[in-house]
Amino acid sequence: MVIGAGALGLSTALHCALAGRSVVVVERLTAGSQASGRAAGLFKSVQADELRTRLARRSIAQAVDFADWAGVPLEVARSGSFLISRTAQHGEYLARELAQSTKWGADVREADPAQLDARLSYYRSAGEQFALWCPEDIYIEEPASLMQAYLAASRLRGVVVAEHEPVTGITVAGGRVAGVETAIRMITTPVVVDAAGGWVRQVAELAGVSVPVAPVRHQLLITAPVPDIDPADPITRVVDAAVYLRPARGGLMVGGFEPDPLPLDPRQQPPSFSTDDVPLDLDVLRRLAAHLAAEAPAAVAAAVAEHRGGLFTMCPDGRFAAGPVPHLPGLWVASGCNGSGFSSSPALGEALAAWITTGTPPPGMASLSPARFGPLPDDTLITRGLWQYAHYYDPAPAGAHQPG
């Protein structure tokens, strides 16, 4: 059984069902209503290591072919994306990403300013820059559509999704997981996947297990429609500004990663705490967008039609926390999204389901063990998680100092 009907929980459930398992998903609120339903919907083939590149590219392929393997239609914008740097330091960083991503099989190419100007209606290059074109990248216009597709495909395969049913306990017998308690019943099961998103730590603590993530706020805005924006434009990520842009609902989506992010631990909030209670701060996005005033004026000037946010679960090393809990057989974790849980969910769910149903970890997956850091105090988790968030687009070169 799976705790949490977000992207990670539903994908794991669907893939377990495709492998012939009978699966129940128990969701405290409604399916897809928390971080997953509020994502920007961006998929990114350029990643910081080989495993994440493989998961990201496999996820893109699965999203594009969703109807073929899941039996339910899913609309995907096959827009491609630009990665842009406007400083020499970030240019070197993108050049490294170009070399390593190409080595790991991604289709990534250098792009010149003329190409940017020809392909983008909402961005004008100004001054020096280095850019990459990533033709494989896609986005899903409304993130709820992936959640609805997961739900429909899961139900087609017999998955039971119980909503408005919080898990309140995890029962352990003979040194292994025996079931869960919810607000209304006991469910007996030998396998429990904790995919509770921002609540993953408090759910694991029901079984006395610690998960190494720090929940951190992330926000985006969608402008009112802007006549000159071409909805067929690619995604743009400006790495030195830590800002991403894409067409959305006739306007522009603007999101970004502030240097001083807000940690927010639901364990210290009232029990009713949900994503609706995450405090939003438009000034954060305004300050980030101001770095692009010359290149993307609509990001700064257009009226805001929607402002939304939620929680990332950040790991100290920026990688997922996914796999079995070594000292408690039967308990699995699907978390540590580090801001890419929506877009990696197809392949991460597939890999976890393969591991759960065969007992063998797919290549590389054991390196994502939720136990890989050993015990870490909360302040270290938070310091490192915030660092990873603030450096989302420019992780330090190998060997560079990280805090904590």
Ligand X SMILES: Cc1cc2nc3c(=O)[nH]c(=O)nc-3n(C[C@H](O)[C@H](O)[C@H](O)COP(=O)(O)OP(=O)(O)OC[C@H]3O[C@@H](n4cnc5c(N)ncnc54)[C@H](O)[C@@H]3O)c2cc1C
Task: Output the six-digit token pair for 349.
Answer: 């769910």
Binding flag, residue 80, ligand X (CB under 6 A): no
Q: Which residue among 38, 90, 119, 384 contacts ligand X (CB under 6 A)?
A: 38
Residues 6+ apart with CB under 8 A from 358: none
Shortest distance in whole angstroms from residue 74 CB to ligand X: 15
In the beta sheet, which residues pair with residue 101? none
In the beta sheet, which residues pair with residue 262? none
* CA–CA dist 341, 4 (Å, integer): 13
Binding flag, residue 370, ligand X (CB under 6 A): no
Q: Which residue among 16, 98, 203, 214 contacts ligand X (CB under 6 A)?
A: 203
Task: Give yes or no for a contact between 338 and 314, defined as CB atoms under 8 angstroms apart.
Answer: yes
Q: Which residue among 213, 220, 322, 347 contacts ligand X (CB under 6 A)?
A: 220
Strand pairing class (214-223; 251-256): antiparallel
Shortest distance in whole angstroms from residue 37 CB to ligand X: 7
Strand pairing class (192-194; 2-3): parallel
Shortest distance in whole angstroms from residue 112 CB to ligand X: 27
Contacts with ligand X, 152-191, as mask; x by CB under 6 A? --------------xx------------------------
Residues 6+ apart with CB under 8 A from 3: 9, 25, 26, 167, 180, 192, 193, 194, 195, 196, 203
Q: Which residue among 197, 318, 330, 346 contacts ligand X (CB under 6 A)?
A: 197
Report which of 180, 145, 192 is spatially closest to residue 31, judged by C-alpha positions: 145
Task: Give yes or no for a contact between 239 and 390, defined as CB atoms under 8 angstroms apart.
Answer: no
Shortest distance in whole angstroms from residue 40 CB to ligand X: 3
Contacts with ligand X, 306-335, as mask; x by CB under 6 A? --xxx-x----------------------x
Nearer to ligand X by Cβ, of 8 and 48: the residue is 8
* CA–CA dist 1, 160 (Å, integer): 10
Strand pairing class (186-188; 192-194): unpaired
Shortest distance in whole angstroms from residue 4 CB to ligand X: 3
Contacts with ligand X, 1-30, as mask; x by CB under 6 A? --xxxxxxx----------------xxxx-
Nearer to ligand X by Cβ, of 74 and 196: the residue is 196
Q: At 141, is the secondary structure helix, strand, or coil? A: coil
Binding flag, residue 59, ligand X (CB under 6 A): no
Report which of 202, 195, 204 is spatially closest to residue 9, judged by C-alpha positions: 195
Binding flag, residue 353, ligand X (CB under 6 A): no
Shortest distance in whole angstroms from residue 167 CB to ligand X: 4
Nearer to ligand X by Cβ, of 91 and 370: the residue is 370
* CA–CA dist 368, 324 (Å, integer): 10
**Where do contacts with ligand X occur on this chain (CB under 6 A)?**
3-9, 26-29, 33-36, 38-42, 166-167, 195-199, 203, 218-220, 308-310, 312, 335, 337, 339-343
